Amino acid sequence: MKNLSLHLIGVMVLTIILQFGTASCKKHSDETGSSSFNYSKIVFQGSTSMSQPRYICAGAAIGTKIMFAGGSDGNVTDYSSVEIYETTTNSWSLAQLSHARRELSSAVAGGKVFFAGGYGAHGADTTVDIYDGTTGAWTTSSLSAPRGNMAAATAGNLVVFAGGYYLTYSDIVDIYDLEKKSWKVAHLSVPRDYLAGIGMGNKIMIMGGESGPSQYSDVIDIFDVSTGLWSISHLPVTRVDPSVAVSGNKLFLTGSTGSDSLLSSVEIYDMNTNLWNRSYLSELRGGEMAVSVGNLVLFIGGVKDSLHFPVVSDVIDIYNLNTGNWSVAHMSTPRYLVTPVVSGNKIFIGGGLSKLDWSSVTATVDVFTAE
């Protein structure tokens, strides 16, 4: 199985070497955004820890629970454990997925959390582990084909898992209907993995990705859940392994263009005007993660350039939708490939790598509040 996370680190190092000379010594969706809030900053509340260090896990929030599921220890162990943080008691508990796996995808809809696909000891998985936030019960279902690194999104009564990879790039879109409790299959216009998905109004948008070795995509497959129809649009530039968030009527997207792994540009789509604009992070970065909390959009961690060497960043760039201004906060330690989860006005930033090697996987969860 290919590992684009490792690939991107290599590309980042190579990019910096090519630009500055030889160095002697780098598919969760956020759909909680709303501009009806008037937050101005995020405030660090402290850190807590999972029972095991992990990265490339799936995150979700349901009710008063924050969940970090599966993932890897960065070496040879994939996890079946689900770390559950109860926000009312500030306590941790454990549950179990049906199979240990990494690079799985998550979505929340209809009072349920879906953890789908991923890679385990025997390759890609079809399993969808489903947690009922009301009863606390776990059940399982199945994708139509095994794969990992899928885009996940929800809109209306539908949950979508799109694309991914197993032996080849996939165009499969598995669609679960919460009312009918049944699955159906659609297809992307272009097979690809390491893509992003998000719900925006009554549409699900599947964006960017890798359609072949070093073949990066600008395609947006748009699924209108009210009509069941698909259409196609394009990003302003190609984006692979993108991170995406929505706040109000705007969508924010970052990610590598393939040729440039460290970027500061943020693509911003206005749903009302159907136009794209661009803004910029405070520094060149790659592998940052995007989430929104009310009117604030956060771009968290990643890898940056420091004196022509790649290092892990602790920066959180914050865009205020109401004012159009940027500000900066910092994690307790630099981290890359984190799993951020938003619940109410709280942001939980879990796991990831603290250095550019797999031995630096961390169990740390930073907690911030939007104020």
Q: Tens digits of per-residue pLDDT, 89-116?
A: 999 999 999 999 999 999 999 999 999 9
Do 62 and 113 touch, CB atoms closer than 8 A?
Answer: yes
Q: How far is CA 370 from the centre of its chain?
A: 20
User: pLDDT-based confidence at 218, cuts 50/70/90?
Assistant: very high
What tens digit of pLDDT does each residue of 223-240 get? Answer: 999 999 999 999 999 999
User: How many domains, the chain?
Assistant: 1
User: In whole angstroms, what is the distance from residue 294 CA to residue 47 CA?
Assistant: 22
Do 33 and 292 touch, CB atoms closer than 8 A?
Answer: yes
Q: What was the pLDDT predicted at 145?
A: 98
**What is the separation, in whole angstroms, between the first and last Cα of the chain?**
43
User: In whole angstroms, what is the distance from residue 101 CA to residue 79 CA?
Assistant: 6
More confident residue, 358 or 48: 48
- Looking up tokens 């390759």, which residue turns up? 123
User: pLDDT-based confidence at 23, cuts 50/70/90?
Assistant: very low
User: In whole angstroms, what is the distance from residue 348 CA to residue 341 CA?
Assistant: 5
What is the token pair recorded at 9? Answer: 């680190």
User: pLDDT-based confidence at 309, cuts 50/70/90?
Assistant: confident
Which of 337-356 are b and which e, b meaning 16 or more Cβ less than 10 Å from the residue's Cβ?
bbbbbbbebbbbbbbbbbbb
Global pTM reads 0.91
User: pLDDT-based confidence at 160, cuts 50/70/90?
Assistant: very high
Q: What was the pLDDT predicted at 76?
A: 86
Alpha helical stretches, state H, the chain? 4-20
Query: HSE-up of 52 (CA within 13 Å, CB side)?
Result: 21
Q: Which H or E run includes 222?
A: strand 219-224
User: In whole angstroms, what is the distance from residue 290 CA to residue 56 CA?
Assistant: 15
| Range 81-90 contact pairs with CB under 8 angstroms and sequence separation of 24 or more | 81/51, 81/52, 82/115, 82/131, 83/50, 83/51, 83/52, 83/54, 83/350, 85/48, 85/348, 85/365, 87/343, 87/346, 88/64, 90/48
Share of the chain above pLDDT 90, in %: 84
Q: What was the pLDDT predicted at 260?
A: 62
Cα–Cα distances (Å) from 22 to 11, 15, 117, 169, in that order, read: 14, 11, 40, 34
Residue 11 predicted with pLDDT over 60: no
Collapsed DSSP state (helix, strand, coil) of residue 273: coil
Provide the residue range defining the domain that includes 192.
4-370
Residue 294 predicted with pLDDT over 50: yes
Give the mean pLDDT of the chain: 90
Q: What mean pLDDT is predicted for residues 61-88?
A: 96
Ranges 31-40, 183-192, 264-273: which has the least confidence: 31-40
Q: What was the pLDDT predicted at 259?
A: 61
Q: What mean pLDDT is predicted for residues 75-80?
A: 94
Residue 61 predicted with pLDDT over 50: yes
User: What's the CATH code of the domain at 230?
Assistant: 2.120.10.80
User: In whole angstroms, what is the distance from residue 34 CA to residue 358 CA?
Assistant: 36
What tens digit of pLDDT does each residue of 25-48 get? Answer: 334 444 444 557 899 999 999 999
Neighbours of 49 (CB within 10 A): 14
Ranges 19-28, 59-68, 158-167, 324-333: which has the least confidence: 19-28
Do 289 and 243 touch, CB atoms closer than 8 A?
Answer: yes
Task: Name the phi and psi angles at 228, rounded to 5.
Answer: 80, 10
- Looking up tokens 């940056």, which residue turns up? 304
- Amino acid identity at 47: S
